[in-house]
Amino acid sequence: MRYISVPAYDELSVRRLWPQLKKDPDFAKYFPAKFPKDKGPPRTYFFDIMNTLYPEYLQKLMAHANEQRMAADAEGNQQQAIHISQYWAEELKAMPFMSSK
């Protein structure tokens, strides 16, 4: 098994991915046929199995989710993006950067 830590994004939720992947016989054989109502497989186990069987697909899903979350022009993010004037952009670039790490 190939272990992985997946960000807890809505678009990377088990609830969202399970309906598609449970139809895949190679994937579904690692899970019981039924779960209690409104329950699915455990998140960590689900993504560990997914990373073992389909590592490239999972990496693409995670990359796409990160791109969508980090893009200022993504749906809903345009209003939350911080816009600065050219003057302040130049002022900030002129200041030395110091990291606390």
Q: Name the residue type at position 17.
A: L
pTM of the model: 0.67
> Which residue carries 């993006």 as its tokens?
81
> Per residue in 4-24, pLDDT tens?
999 998 889 999 999 999 999
Q: Tell me: pLDDT of 76 over 70.
A: no
> Which residue carries 């019981």 as its tokens?
32
N-term to C-term CA, the chain? 33
Residue whose C-alpha is closest to residue 64's, from 22, 2, 9: 9
Of all residues in the chain, the percent with pLDDT exceeding 90 is: 50
Band of the pLDDT at 52, cuts 50, 70, 90? Answer: very high
